[in-house]
Chain A
Amino acid sequence: MRLILHLASRYAFSKQNRHRGTSIRIAIGLALCLFAIVAVLSFMQALQRNQFEDIRTFESFDLQLDLGSVDLAAAESVAQKIEALDVVQNAFVYADLPVIAQNSEGSTVAGRLRGIEAEGRLLAQLNSYRGYLFQNGEIASSYSNTRSIHIDDTATLTFLKKGRVATVVPSKRDLKVGAIYYTSSYDFDQSTFLSDVPTLLSLQNDADLKIGVFTDADVVSVKKQIQELGYADVLTWMDVNASLYSAMELEQKMMGFMLFLMILVILVHIRNSSRRLLLAKQSEMAMLRSIGLTKSKVQLLFVLQAALVACIGCLGGVLLSYLGIALYPSISQYMYQSIGVHLILQIRFQELLLLFFTIVAFSLIASFMGTHRILKADIMEMFAHDEIS
């Protein structure tokens, strides 16, 4: 075995090896392919994570529960009950009211007023640019609307109320803009004015109250637990954003398909280079057989050689990947200029491990099959032909 290991390492990367250059090129090819897959995977996952993160933090939360009630005290009690679940981090009351806001100069912004008891992730990522958020009787407008709505302005909010004769009637109310906020979600900022829940209820006292929930656990299982508490009308962020989510799922499937194609290209590369390397060694195999090395040992020798080249190539790919991720923050501003979002890249270790072993395993299989094919011939045929087919 020691002899086989020695020969395998000599055949793979030794300075004295005539085919050292081929081995190095194969290893570099594998390293670059692995790096390319990891880079694409990390970017795509980061993009999706970024999009979903904003939705889950500001827009629909991880889960939401429509109480169908206007009783704030009862809603707060339900929120406390849900928050008592181990898997729930935060549960809070909120309500939305569609409004058109107009400043004293007549500029208008159409959107919604969200009355909310901001907690958890939402509060952590809600930034006050000027003023104080959630002051009773005041609203907060977003930084992206500052051209129309300024701090300390009195905004006239127009909204629909239930009427006595007509189903709904327009209603107006003046509220002071007490703060300017911003978040990382441009869409949310453009369309949302914020207030506390009592301020929203003072505009429309029959607004539907809802409970927002933040969790790190699987939302489907949390939904089940909340339903077991007796609240049937629970929606996950995937239910609420069904069309977006299915588009993302489609994108993910396409991404999976693209990665599959990339892996296929790598596997073809491995197969071809393994074949090239083995064919270059065909007469050496014949020589080793003629001086008494058994077929199985010759096969083991070249499988080990392939394993060595593949492992070194893959390790190079892993190093490149981690190096790329580590260096990314220093070039992220250029990415921000081109794609408009700050991405946090991560490598999922399990996926990397799977890729690593897939490539190494395929290298072993390709080498095993290649040597098996060559060794089927008589020794003299191996000497005589460039390629055994």
Chain B
Amino acid sequence: MMKSVDVLNLDHVSKSFPATGQGGEPIQILEDVSLSIQRATSTAITGQSGSGKSTLLQISAGLLSADTGNIKFEGKDLPGMNDEQRSRLRSRSMGFIFQNSLLLDDFTALENVKISAMIAQSSEHVALKKALDMLKLVGLGDRLDHKSDQLSGGERQRVAIARALVNEPSVIFADEPTGSLDEHNAQLVEDLLFSLVEDREVALMLITHNLNFAGRCNLIYRLHNRHVEVRS
């Protein structure tokens, strides 16, 4: 078994959003949040709607900036990185799965995955091979040339998983990956994600409402009143 190494550390992170009306107080979403994510482990973040789970994930992945606090990814200061360094990190060390399986709608399933590999500097030939392998792994070998609107919700989510994994990232950030799927497809995606954590030793940071899904993770954090607490 591989030794647990922190790939992501959040230290006293706070985030607020400006009030929508004029003269209103900013809305504090996160306050003094600290947590760490280890390689080859799955970590679930749970909490009520509006508790700031997605914001926490987005800040952890550098998709949103925090107001205060330190974020270290693989030991490097994430907010201190320039755009190029952060982009490189996103393409090679991070994989994203969003609730609405955001795909590049103009492109086929194969192209969505291939483009991600090419952005991470794989040659076209290598990127194609990687994309084919990854789509077969998620059971979409027969849907390669289908565009986003020709795929079901579960299939789109599996394309998103293939795209997130194609560059062999160290962390997968999954925001409600089964939230919009039926039971069968949700189970497929869940099984796929946990098998990847075991087989490929990636870290999984999972946002979910589903306590059963969260219960399969190695660690569960609960966001409550802008603070995070360890549940198990």
Within 8 A of B (CB), among A355-388: 378-381, 383
Which residues of B have CB within 8 Å of A288? Answer: 104, 119
What is the chain B residue whose CB lies nearest that of A291?
B116
**Given A10-B106, A290-B90, A295-B83, A16-B147 contact (CB < 8 Å):** yes
A238 contacts partner chain B, Cβ-Cβ < 8 Å: no
Within 8 A of B (CB), among A5-23: 7, 10-11, 14, 16-19
A283–B102 CB distance below 8 A:
yes
The CA of A14 and the CA of B147, in the complex, are separated in Å by: 14
Which residues of A have CB within 8 Å of B118? Answer: 3
B64 CB contact (under 8 Å) in A10, A18, A289, A380: A380
**Given A291-B116, A292-B120, A294-B84, A16-B63 contact (CB < 8 Å):** no
What 0/1 readout, one digit per residue, does chain B (118-137) give for beta carbons within 8 Å of chain A?
A: 11100010000000000000
B119–A380 CB distance below 8 A:
no
Within 8 A of B (CB), among A245-285: 283-284
The CA of A10 and the CA of B118, in the complex, are separated in Å by: 16
Which residues of B have CB within 8 Å of A287? Answer: 102-104
B43 contacts partner chain A, Cβ-Cβ < 8 Å: no
B45 to chain A, nearest CB (A): 16
What is the chain A residue whose CB lies nearest that of B87?
A294
The CA of A290 and the CA of B96, in the complex, are separated in Å by: 8
A293 contacts partner chain B, Cβ-Cβ < 8 Å: yes
Which residues of A have CB within 8 Å of B58? Answer: 378-380
B92 CB contact (under 8 Å) in A289, A292, A293, A381: A292
B145 to chain A, nearest CB (A): 10
A371 to chain B, nearest CB (A): 14
B231 contacts partner chain A, Cβ-Cβ < 8 Å: no
B side interface size, CB within 8 A: 29
What is the chain A residue whose CB lies nearest that of B175?
A380
**Given A3-B115, A291-B119, A292-B116, A383-B102 contact (CB < 8 Å):** yes
B104–A284 CB distance below 8 A:
yes
Count of chain A to chain B residue pairs whose CB atoms are closer than 8 Å in the complex: 70
**Given A17-B106, A380-B58, A294-B65 contact (CB < 8 Å):** no
Which residues of B have CB within 8 Å of A294? Answer: 83-84, 87
The CA of A287 and the CA of B113, in the complex, are separated in Å by: 12
A291–B96 CB distance below 8 A:
yes
The CA of A381 and the CA of B18, in the complex, are separated in Å by: 13
Q: Classify chain A's interface size.
A: 20 to 34
The CA of A382 and the CA of B140, in the complex, are separated in Å by: 29
Kindly name the residue among A2, A283, A287, A291 whose own CB sees the greatest number of chain B CB atoms within 10 A.
A291
Which residues of A have CB within 8 Å of B116? Answer: 291-292
B63–A378 CB distance below 8 A:
yes
Which residues of B have CB within 8 Å of A283? Answer: 102
B119–A292 CB distance below 8 A:
yes
Which residues of B have CB within 8 Å of A10? Answer: 106-107
What is the chain B residue whose CB lies nearest that of A298?
B87
Which residues of B have CB within 8 Å of A296? Answer: 83
**Given A3-B119, A378-B64, A378-B65, A291-B163 contact (CB < 8 Å):** yes
B174 to chain A, nearest CB (A): 13
B38 contacts partner chain A, Cβ-Cβ < 8 Å: no
B117 to chain A, nearest CB (A): 10
**Given A3-B119, A18-B105, A380-B64, A291-B90 contact (CB < 8 Å):** yes
B106–A14 CB distance below 8 A:
yes
B91–A379 CB distance below 8 A:
no
Which residues of A have CB within 8 Å of B200? Answer: none
B88 contacts partner chain A, Cβ-Cβ < 8 Å: yes
**Given A3-B119, A292-B87, A292-B91, A380-B106 contact (CB < 8 Å):** no
Which residues of B have CB within 8 Å of A3? Answer: 115, 118-119
The CA of A160 and the CA of B106, in the complex, are separated in Å by: 87
B83–A16 CB distance below 8 A:
no
What is the chain B residue whose CB lies nearest that of A286?
B102
The CA of A292 and the CA of B85, in the complex, are separated in Å by: 10
Which residues of A have CB within 8 Å of B83? Answer: 294-296
The CA of A283 and the CA of B106, in the complex, are separated in Å by: 12
Q: Please name 17 further chain A to chain B contacts, defined as beta carbons within 8 Å, in addition to the given A3-B115, A16-B108, A291-B90, sorted by A numbering.
A: A10-B107, A14-B106, A16-B107, A17-B106, A287-B102, A287-B103, A289-B87, A290-B96, A291-B91, A291-B115, A292-B87, A292-B89, A292-B91, A292-B167, A294-B84, A295-B83, A378-B58
Residues of B within 8 A of A (CB): 58, 63-65, 83-84, 87-92, 96, 102-108, 115-116, 118-120, 124, 147, 163, 167
Q: 19 A–B contact pairs at CB < 8 A?
A: A3-B118, A7-B115, A18-B105, A18-B106, A19-B106, A284-B106, A287-B102, A287-B103, A288-B104, A289-B87, A292-B87, A292-B90, A292-B92, A295-B83, A378-B63, A378-B64, A379-B58, A380-B58, A380-B64
Residues of A within 8 A of B (CB): 2-3, 7, 10-11, 14, 16-19, 283-284, 287-296, 378-381, 383
Which 4 A-B pairs rank lowest in CB-CB distance, beginning with the nearest?
A: A292-B91, A294-B87, A379-B63, A292-B90
